[in-house]
Amino acid sequence: MTGLCLSVCIHDSVQKDTHVVSPQFLPSKTPRILPRSSPLSLFMPLRITPWYVPGESAVTTLQISAQLQAAMAEVTNIISSMLSVRTSESPLLLSRDISRYCRSVWRDPSLRNYNRCGSLDVSYSGESCLDVMIPDSHLQGFAIWPANGNEPIQMIPDGTGVPDTDFLLYVRVAQTIKCAAQPSVIAYASFCQLDSSGRPIAGVIVFCMERLKEGDYQHSHIVQASLHELLHALGFSNSLFEYWTDCSFSEPGGACSSRSRVSNTDEHGQFRIYTPTVTQKMGEHFGEANVGAPLENKDFPSSPSSHWESRILQGSILTASLSPPHLSLLDPITLAAFTDMGWYGVNTSFKGQLVWGRDAGPSFGQPSTCHDSFSDFFCTGSEIGCHHLHLDKGICTTDAFLDGCRIYKPLPKGGECWLERNGGEPDEIYHAQSRCFFSNITKTPPYQKITGRCYLHQCLASNTFQVKVQGSEWMDCPSGQWVQVAGFEGFLKCPSDRLCMGFPYPPAQSPTAGSSTIHSEATREVNITSNQSMEVRVLVTLTQSLEGSTEKIMLLLDEVLDVISQVAEVQRCLLHVPSQIDLGSSFTLTIRSSHNCPSPAV
């Protein structure tokens, strides 16, 4: 770790230096109608095939190689659960760049072999992608043609291709110049081949060897960095904005049109993405309609970046500076962007809830307003506080991506309230159910400064919880209020709209007596394959009477299913319930896969 920054991403500079090969009939920046895949092809989970560059074992140990392959398997499973494409039964064959292998092309329209290669460039040695040589078996063949003949003079046949693949990912381990220049970089990636619609179909990810050393290797960090980089290679890149397509008015299998413009500047000169689903999700999150999603402005004063603006979308997996893995997530804004690319079907139940800036309005996160000492998200001063998710203690600081704004970043070590250990202030409790609270309570006056401290919490309902400090009883903690703890001097602040909101916190939570309101009659390993299903009886206990419209009851049911999905670690789209249920008693929950919701391995 370098300072308080776990890892930064250099995709934009890497992609700029990557040669991209694509069919000659890709869309230009002017709108045109593009053919979609065959109507007979169905959206199926995106199949990513990692191809490990031969000889990598010479620079890594067997243990590191196995760990890296396990991390890549986890990442590709995540993305396959998130994205689907119209698949092809044929093996994936990559294109050759005619400008590389061909010295001259027949340009006379009267010739039989007009626009075909007439002579070989003798310096041609094959195709590469970010310094990785692509095997001939992965590539289409090519021919050298006479002016008017029917047969080529010289030809390399098509390779066998890569079966069951929609995206081919070359994986390399090296201590490159880019790695040496940026010690905080874990990995970087780029795409190097596009299909006829502009969708990336091949790319490379390079892992910096120094960050994979035994003793320093952390699985969750490698998974996070790999996921971030692969999202760039699959489409979230400023180099691909001009190829995003609009399929919203197309029949299945019909034609899609290219988007006239994906990004534009706002009144502050900041680039934002203004595509329909992105603006919808931004409006839902910030409480203001027609707001585009802001792109990072550092080093990009006159062009769009390939990252979200850190000041405004803190916690997203696609900010340029990554938070620790348990504090970043695949957020709805990022999923919306992949929806608006037009190439993918997106599993909308595969979601994490952004907390940062929720309902804060369109002016949130501007450098002119972030220094407000009353902000619930930004901070001033230098005292230890709480990260905005309240999982960790934090220090109020800034970085190069925050434009002078200050936020509570997690302490480099020892601030994880959810990690069970001894230590801290006498009244603190470090436990899976503990969260960070602003407090100055003490048994022995004088009063201390208000700082972030770790105490137990348990949920009673949405945004309703209790708190317990060392030596106290459980007590109600009304959200947004300061409370006193019996037997202690001072006060404790109860966070508002941060705890018990159904947000999927990554650390595993250990059960606490009285905290659970959802019970299932059995716990078992889930292994659902296609066309199979499993039924589970679920009992829901309501702590207060349920009154309201059918719509409200269904919203509550959706929250119940979200909790079951998180606790059981089963995808939300696998959970099916009867059309009519009574939330005051029990109901049958069916776990069933479908063509647009891939089955989990376990």
Catalytic residues: 229
Spatial contact of 21 and 128, defined as CB atoms under 8 Å apart:
no
Q: Is 483:443 a contact under the CB 8 Å cutoff?
A: no
d(CA 102, CA 114): 14
**Cα distance between residue 493 and residue 481, in whole Å:** 6
Q: Which residue has the tokens 């039924």?
A: 535
Query: CA triplet 232, 323, 570: central angle to 5 degrees?
Result: 75
Cβ contacts of 151 within 8 Å, gap of 6 or more = none
The owner of tokens 């110049």 is 177
| Separation CA 219–CA 226 (nearest Å) | 11
Q: Report the C-alpha dihedral over residues 8, 12, 16, 20, rounded to 10 degrees.
A: 100
d(CA 409, CA 152): 63
Burial of 550 (0-12, 13-18, 19+ CB in 10 A): exposed
Report DSSP letters for 469-490, one per residue: -TT---EE--TT-EE--TT-BS
* Dihedral pair phi/psi, residue 171, rounded to 5°: -110, 125
